[in-house]
Amino acid sequence: MQTNEPVSVGASGSARQNVPLTTAALAGSPHRLRKENLISKLMYGAALVSVVVSGLIMYALFSEAWVFMRDVDWAQTWGQIGWFPRRGIYDMPTLLIASFWTTLIAMVVAAPLGLGAAIYLSEYARSSHRALFKPILEVLAGIPSVVFGFFALLWLAPNVVANIGGAGGRGSMVAAGLGVGILTIPLVASISEDAMAAVPKSLREASAGLGARKAVTTLRVVLPAAVSGLVASMIVAVSRALGETMVVFMAGGAADAAVRTITPYDGSLTMPAAMASLASGTDQVVGEGLTFQSLFFVGLVLFLLTLGLNLIGDRFVARIREQY
Amino acid sequence: MSSTATILDAAKPIPERLVMPATDHLVDSLDPEPHPPDDAEDLPTAAVVFDVDAVSVYYGEFRAVQDASLKVHEHEITAFIGPSGCGKTTLLRCFNRMNDLISSARVTGSLCYYGVDLYNPQVDAVEVRRRIGMVFQKPNPFPKSIKDNVAYGPKVAGLAKKGPAMDDIVENSLRKAALWDEVKDRLNDNALGLSGGQQQRLCIARAIATDPDVLLMDEPCSALDPIATTRIEELMHDLKTDYSIVIVTHNMQQAARVSDRTAFFSVEVNADSDSRTGILVEYDFTQHIFSNPSDERTENYVTGRFG
């Protein structure tokens, strides 16, 4: 592509000598400069949208949660019998305990299986095996969580939970936790595998050259070098498990309201399940004066928990990271 | 022959200790075969470390090295030279079975290490690598402390646990690699804070720490500046008393400066399939290779007419 400017420079040696160089000759095409400018503005706009939307979400969350916090009788949020928002009883420990159990059980399932799958794919698998396993993991990651909800309720509960001490016929925190755990495996596996694949091959060769077996190389060289990505995968997985709604709503064994229990074999409501219960139904949210706002308060607590987790994770990673 | 002399002159002045006086009379020999020491009775006969016999290396269907045969001798520096793609690194990586890491790689022929076939199914590559250390083209220290880098091999091999015994190994290895004085006050600092030349000497120290018999060096100076290169070359000369060294180098002057024997590899283009195979053209005392090569291809290469 040539510019439409009259040729003053560069056509031939003699032209160059005869025509004195001017600033205008080097000024560039105004048309192209405008185009470049426009593109950069469009990209800025795209980036801005996500910032603005985040801001709006925060505003909606905080403004309604603020109403709740200002007007609520705080005695109703602690030390009550359970979570009965339509009757004005907002026992937060009920939800926190349920969220804690399901997340813990989910991570007990997802962390070792996800990490193991990542180590296999990144360090051990032959390329033909990798070509088989990776798409299957990706399919697993793409299954809608409502399917996992059914799976947890109709298969995990009678076949697994019933065999490890729980009741088979209904949902429970264990069933929900197992379901969320399986849902989270591909997430852990793919982020962990990316982190391990980013470790330079030369480090593996150095280790092998010193007489280290593959397991030793993986444990002492690859995993330490990949640790920031591994911690990141765990944090993302915990955030995902904490925020997962559909599986815990369907398989958690409670709807609308729950009595506080610390036994994971019981049904209960996690924070997002409580929010989903409140917001669903044809009557929208009807109840006591603050029932609607309590939904936002729970959302705020959930948001702060995940945020705190990410901050702690970042600081932890900065401290132990092996930079290569 | 004037042009070959130019190559040697163009090299940095060879320290006297690097010149081999005993081989001058071989310069006139035109024997294309390598000179096994037992044929030359007036030479000190060094034990054979590697006996490579008709070794070919394949990556899948592709033959990277064809029928290479040579003997590597104890306490000598053996250099592999040749143009890119001639299979010299591939052959070097057979010596400690590094090619095992590539699933498609396959080795035929016989490769004996002190008389033991390295590719015998009973031989464990991990054991081989503990005896035959390797230094790579690019310095590749672990992103750990200087001390942990050196201690890695001994720890993995169970030679020593943490404590004074390990500290001794670390210090001795770093001293042998001529790095101790530069790093003794910062052993716990990250190794990646060292300069490139220091990192490469750390990698040599790391390889020495497992107490190997042989050091394989794959173009150890190609990522280094001339001063660091000189230091590594001096170091190699010092290490020769304790170890046998095989070095792959792109740099002919380096081979001329440091090595006792040189193997020249070349690329043969297969007319049928257009594939390129590395072949060993000539293997002899370094002085012979550079001053009076038997093969025309060697002469063309060392005089700079090819490659």
ipTM: 0.81
Which CATH class name applies to B2-302? Answer: alpha beta
Instruction: Tell me which residue in B134, B157, B190 faces A209 most closely, judged by beta carbons.
Output: B134
Mean per-residue pLDDT of chain B: 85
- What letter represents residue A243's amino acid? G
Question: Which residues of A lie inside 8 Å of B (Cβ-Cβ)?
Answer: 126-127, 200, 202-213, 216, 220-221, 224-225, 322-324
Chain B residues close to A216, C-beta within 8 Å: 156
Place A192 in a pLDDT band, splitting at 50, 70 and 90: very high
Q: What is the pLDDT of residues B69-103, one digit of tens each?
A: 999 999 999 999 998 888 999 999 999 999 888 88
Residue A201: closest C-alpha in chain B: B140
Q: What secondary structure does DSSP assign to B144-174, as a single string?
A: SBHHHHHHHHHHHHTS--TTHHHHHHHHHHH
Mutate to test the interface with A, among B101, B104, B128 (most CBs of A within 10 A): B101
Residue of A nearest to B126 (CA): A211
pLDDT at A235: 92
Inspect the interface and report whether the beta carbons of B98 and A224 lie closer than 8 Å.
Answer: no
Tens digit of each residue's pLDDT (9 = 90 or more) over A72-112: 888 888 888 889 888 888 999 999 999 999 999 999 999 99
- Give the rounded percent of residues in chain A with a pLDDT score beyond 70: 91
State residue A314's pLDDT score: 83
Query: Which residue type does A313 have?
Result: G
Q: A with B: how many residue pairs have Cβ under 8 Å apart?
A: 71
Q: Report whether pLDDT(B23) > 50.
A: no
Q: What is the mean pLDDT of residues B229-246?
A: 93
User: Comparing B23 with A130, which gets the higher pLDDT?
Assistant: A130
Contact A323 B192 (CB under 8 A): yes
Which residues, in sequence order, are CB contacts of A92 under 8 Å at separation 6+? Answer: A77, A78, A298, A301
| B253 CA: distance to closest CA in chain A (Å) | 27
| Residue A267 predicted with pLDDT over 60 | yes
Chain B residues touching A205 at Cβ < 8 A:
98, 101, 136, 140
Yes or no, beta carbons of B153 and A210 under 8 Å apart: yes
Chain B residues closer than 8 Å to A207 by CB: 142, 152, 156
Backbone phi, psi, residue B56, to 5°: -120, 145
Please give the pLDDT value at position A17: 65
Question: Which residue in the set B126, B144, B190 is minimally distant from A211, CB to CB?
Answer: B126
Secondary structure class of B56 (helix, strand, coil): strand
pLDDT at B194: 95
User: Is the confidence at residue A239, as pLDDT, over 80?
Assistant: yes
Per-residue confidence band for B44, with pLDDT thresholds at 50, 70 and 90: low
At residue A283, the pLDDT reads 58
| Type of residue at B13 | P
Residue B272 pLDDT greater than 80, yes or no:
no
Could you give the CA distance from residue A121 to residue B117 in angstroms, rounded to a whole number? 33
| CA–CA separation, A206 and A227 (whole Å) | 19
pLDDT at B71: 95
| pLDDT given for residue A291 in this prediction | 84
The answer to whether residue B129 neighbours chain A at the CB level (below 8 Å) is: yes
| Residue A220 pLDDT exceeds 90 | yes
Chain B hits for A211, Cβ within 8 Å = 126-127, 129-130, 153, 156-157, 210
Q: Would an 8 Å CB–CB cutoff place B133 in contact with chain A?
A: yes
Residues of B in contact with A202 (CB under 8 A): 136, 138, 140
Mean pLDDT of A236-253: 92
Q: Is the pLDDT of residue A14 over 90?
A: no
Give chain A positions within 8 Å (CB) of B210. Answer: 210-211
The pLDDT, as a whole number, for residue B19 is 42
User: pLDDT confidence of B234, banded at 50, 70, 90?
Assistant: very high
Q: How far is CA A252 from CA A79, A96, A303, in A?
A: 22, 14, 21
Lowest mean pLDDT among A43-47, A109-113, B63-67: B63-67
Instruction: Looking at the complex, report in whole angstroms how far the Cα of residue A225 sits from the nearest Cα belonging to chain B.
Output: 7
Q: Which residues of B touch A323 (CB under 8 A)?
A: 143, 190, 192
Write down the pLDDT at residue B32.
44
Summarised one tens digit per residue, pLDDT across range B191-214 is 999 999 999 999 999 999 999 999
Residue B132, phi then psi, degrees to nearest 5: -120, 100
Q: Between chains, do B142 and A221 touch, taking CB under 8 Å as contact?
A: yes
Which chain A residues are Cβ-neighbours of B207 within 8 angstroms?
209-210
Q: Could you say which residues from 95 to 114 on chain B have a Cβ atom under 8 Å away from some Cβ of chain A?
A: 96, 98, 101, 103
Q: Which residues are CB-contacts of B1 (< 8 A; sequence separation ≥ 6)? A: B291, B292
* pLDDT at B38 > cutoff 50: no
Q: Which tokens belong to A251?
A: 């398989």
Contact flag A213-B126 (C-beta cutoff 8 Å): yes
The pLDDT mean for chain A works out to: 88
Single-letter code of the amino acid located at A53: V
pLDDT at A22 (0 to 100): 85
Probe site for chain A from B93, B100, B129, B150 (most A CB atoms < 10 A): B129
Q: Do residues B170 and B148 make contact, with C-beta atoms less than 8 angstroms apart?
A: no
Of the two residues A6 and B218, the one the predictor is more confident about is B218
CA distance B134 to B99: 13
Residue B185 to chain A, least CA–CA distance (Å): 21
Give the confidence band of B135 by pLDDT, cuts at 50, 70, 90.
Answer: very high
Q: What is the pLDDT of residue A21?
A: 86
- Burial (CB count <10 Å: 0-12, 13-18, 19+), residue A253: buried
Closest residue in A to B139 (Cα–Cα): A202
Instruction: Identify the closest residue of chain B to A200 by CA–CA distance.
Output: B140
User: How far apart (Å, rounded) are the C-alpha atoms in residues B111 and A93?
Assistant: 70
Task: Check if B152 contacts A (Cβ < 8 Å).
Answer: yes
